[in-house]
Amino acid sequence: MSLSQTIIISLKALISALMSAFLTNYLQRRNEQIKFSRDKLFDRYSEFVAVASADLFRARMQLALAERKFQEENKDLIDNAYQSMKSNKMELSRLSLQIRLLESDEQLKRKVQQIEKSQPFMFFLFPPKSDSDYQGKLNKFDSDINLFEQSFFDLANMVLANQKIAGKCLLCRYFCR
């Protein structure tokens, strides 16, 4: 074997070693970025679940107060529930936007936005003197709460199902898109 052949073989080995090192480094970095994004997304989902749960509790408390028609005694509870509804609405909007920016699944994005927009609210918690269909409004408020709760559980199931699919083969995440 001549010197030139030895140099060429050495250069090929060096180039393939460098390419292998760069490829390994690239795949490790990409895996870290995917893991970081996924962790960030799950943090947002957990915050979203916490805020939606608090709002569901608030709505159920408002419904219970309205059905019992406690007006004057529970004015501070009503004011607290209204303030809680406003802060929950802002938090749901903020988290919904962050989730929709990070999420790649369009179905999950739509579900998050649907939950954000379907926050149950009843403007007059107690019947004004001229309102004859107050019971119908209470029934609608109750059905809005149940719809919000069902959407909330559907989202949780969809996220868990999506996580099981995403946890499959590492090479599939890179090359099977």
Domain ranges of the chain: 34-175
Residue 116 · residue 93 · CB < 8 Å: yes
Task: Write out 99-135 in H/E/C secondary structure.
Answer: HHHHCCCHHHHHHHHHHHHCCCCCCCCCCCCCCCCHH
Query: Cα(113)–Cα(116) distance, rounded to whole angstroms?
Result: 5
Give 104-146 pLDDT, tens digit per residue.
889 999 999 998 888 887 766 666 666 677 778 888 888 999 9
**CB-count burial class (<10 Å; 0-12, 13-18, 19+) for 156:** middle
Query: Cα(54)–Cα(84) distance, rounded to whole angstroms?
Result: 9
Give 36-74 pLDDT, tens digit per residue.
888 898 899 989 989 998 989 888 888 887 777 666 566
Query: Cα(65)–Cα(16) distance, rounded to whole angstroms?
Result: 73
Q: pLDDT value at position 171?
A: 42
Q: pLDDT value at position 135?
A: 79
167 pLDDT more than 60: no
Angle in degrees, 0-180, between the axes of helices 106-117 and 3-68, rounded to the nearest 10: 20
For the chain, what is the mean pLDDT?
82
